[in-house]
Every structure is written in structure tokens, then in C-alpha cells.
Structure 1
Amino acid sequence: MNTTRHLEPAPAAPTTLPGPQRPPAEALAMYTQKIYADPRTERSGARELLLAFAYALTVADVPASAIIKTASKALGRHPKTGRWRIKPLIAADLPRYAAPGSETYITGRCKAPRHRPYVPRDASAQQRHRAQSDDRNTERVCGTSATLHVTERDPATGWHTLHSYCTRHRAEAQRVEHQLAQQNAAAPEPVPNRGGLLPAHFKADWQQVYRWATASPRWTPPSWGISADEWPTPGQTPPPIARQRLRLIPAPTSVDPDTP
């Protein structure tokens, strides 16, 4: 069964579905099962947003121009701010690469080579024995809390690996940074590792929808593609792109920020 409906860039009524159609409740159950079967929806927190769109496209069965508004009503307002939740939820699904430290505070220990065994000051015999299995000795690294971080970009994926150093080993950090300069310059745009689930489950002019949700009129999709299904995962077989998707969702042209 083909469940895809076509859409003009501006809100417009959906065209008629060819062939037999599933009852709305059955269609919603089918797509709910697909959404829950996708483990990426749980990790990203996008499941609620996807289910709201599935409801708007099946049980609600509203005109194309009201799909986003209906999904917004289903999601409701934020309990503290009173603002409609749909824009920040769509913005959170923006296809992007989140580098280490971009979403959390960077912590780490200095990885500069250690030339003498680590022994705690004023240590007892028992503490000295335990220190033998300390990673500062087993890995022969400095191990001091790091404040300097050097980025290494993977030649295949563009993903970042951080190498951390303390201020005492600033020269080592500069040496590694210089050593990686040519490799980093030749690395590709990083493969996205966040977002892209809305395009993986629904058809729409998602570039315009993401622009609307983020108030970024010049945003463009990553070169790897706008859908998470298009992104390769290192060491894994690429996911199939031929997932059956619901009918197209129209991109909003103008929506009052105080209305769903």
C-alpha cells in the first residue's frame, strides 16, 4: 500500500490517496509500532514529536495546512513557560554533528607521557601497592586534570576525538596539534550524529520546517543528507533508506507564535 500524499511547498490540501486506505486507527497503530521499533527515537527523545505528527496525519485527518497546528495542539504548552512546545522539539531534531564537549562540560585527564611511576605523596605501603594498578602507571600517562584539549578529526567520518593535556604539558599539546593539522584540514564535514528523525519517518520540505522552528532562514542540510537514514555509521551496515513514510507534511509559511 502506498501511503504517500503529495504536497506543494506552501500549505495545501493533500491529494487523494491511490488504492485502498487503512482505517485511521489502524494506520496510527501501524506507524506507532514503526516509531517505537526505531531505537533512535528513544535515545534522542524525538518519539513524542513523531507520535504527534502520526496522530495529526491519521486519526485527526486534518487538511494539509493544519497538520503542524494539530501536532502542536497534541504536544501542548511547556508547563513553566506556557509556550507551545513544537518549535523547540523540532529544533532539537535538527540534523547536526554534536562534537565532544558541545553539549556537556569537557572533563579529562592529561594524556602526556609519564616518565616516572606515580606514587602518592606520604603514601603507606598499601597505598603504594594500589598505585601500581593506577591508570597513570598502567598507561604511563600524566593523569593530571586537563584544561587544554586538542581536536583530532577522523579522516573518514570527520568525527572529533579530544586529546587532553594539563598546563604543565602545554608544549606536548602544541606538538600534537601541529602533527594533526594536515589530517584535520583534509577531513570531511562530520557525519551528523543528532536529529534527522522527522525526515526518516515523514515526507515534507523539512529544510523549510527546520528553518521555521529554529528561526534560521539560511540553514541548509548537512552534505550527508537531511535524513538520519542517509548517514553512515562507522563499523555498521548503512540502514535501509526505503522505509515507508507517511504522507507529506507542508512547510509552515507564517504561524502566529502564540498559536499552535
Structure 2
Amino acid sequence: MIETRGLTKRYGEAVVVDNVSVRIPRAGVTSIIGPNGAGKSTFLSLISRLTPPTSGAVTIDGTNIASVQGRHLAKLLSILRQDNHFSVRLTVSDLVAFGRYPYSRGHLTPEDHQQVDKALAYLGIAGLKARYVDELSGGQRQRVFLAMVLCQDTDYLLLDEPLNSLDIKHAAITMQLLRRAADELDKTIVTVLHDINFAAAHSDRVIGMKDGRIFCDGRPDDVFTTDCLSNLFEMEMSIQVWQKQTIINYFGPSRRD
């Protein structure tokens, strides 16, 4: 379980994450939604210890992450950030192998190579193994970075907007794969999503953030209501259920010539 207690991050006078206390249970998919500037990415960065908090604490399975050595923390949780850039030219296989660094320290074993192949196959991109990352489309690169995170083989996966650069088809496939990883591999996936319909379709739990605070928190049926979403995003929304699936409409009335 991930637990935050009074987690706060300030930059000068600006409070980006404001006294957040929340528990995220093991296993399943937890989606963090909310408007731009709500503090979602910073919150995820604080949980992963990429950003130091101004105050408060994060514990994982009862252990304060501030006291955990970096190598051991990297075996417990992995994170996919929004800004993934490499200045060196790498093949897909080489990049994904970075996920094995906490185990092999750069000296890959047969087990490491097996984990690389397993992650590529799981995401359906084994055929890209020998390609150079800079030759790939944006959507392909995003899936390669996901493979690197999966290859790290941690219990907790923190994903900051994993659907970036993906078209509708590959975004849907990616969310299905994340759902499958949670169910079949017993992973705990915490992801920031802008597409609230994907969050409604695949989440066990949804946390809505606004102005650096928790605005709503619960099962999808509790969060995805007209009142909650309209107040969270400050715009009119409507909810429909089609074939037992919640669909959120935020386009407003259609206009016809």
C-alpha cells in the first residue's frame, strides 16, 4: 500500500500539492484525474521520490521511502515520466534494458535479457527490438518506454500520462494491457490520465485533484457523477451508461448547420 500523510510541495509562495493524505491499496489500477495545474504530476513525482516534499511523508508497505536506498526503491516502484528524452542513439532493446539496471547494474544476465524480451512481447512490440528509438513514431516510442518500466518488474508502477502521443487504437490497447498487468501480474498501477473515459473504463479507483488537493476519491461509480465531474473541471458534463459502460460527454450540445 502507498500512503501519503500531509504531503505538501511548495515552490516559493506557490503551493502545488497541499497537505494530501491518501491511501492507495495494493493491486489494481488507480487513476488520478483533474484539470491542468491540479498537482497530479507533482503528486506522482513526490510518491516516486523524484521530487522532495516540502513537508509530509510517503510510505510504501509501511516503510518511509525517505529512508530507502535508491537501488532498493527502484526494485519496489518504477515511474514513467512525461518528458522522456535521450541524447544518445539507442536500440529499443538497449533502452528497455535500462529497466534492469537496479538488478544488473549494467551487466546484463540471461535473466535480464529474458525480462527484456518478455516486456516487449507483452506490449506487442517485439518486432521493434533491433530498431533505433529515434526512428520510431511517437506512439511507438511511448510503448517502448512503457516496456522499460514493465521490465523493471516492480510491484508499483507510476505512470504520468502514459497515453501521450498514442492514437485512439493504441491508447485503447495500452489501457487494456495495463488493466491486464494489474490483473494477471498483480501490479499496482497508479496513473495520471487526461482521458476520463479511459479512467472510467479501466480503473478500480479514481482520485480527482484540484488546486493541489484531493477533490474526490472513490470507486468510478462514486466519482463519475455529473455533479462531481462538473465541479472538478468547472464545465458542464453529462453521464450515460451504454452496455454497462460509463460514458462521459463533455462536448456540450451538438451544433448542426
Report the TM-score when normalising by structure 1: 0.24
Report the TM-score when normalising by structure 2: 0.24
Larger radius of gyration: 1
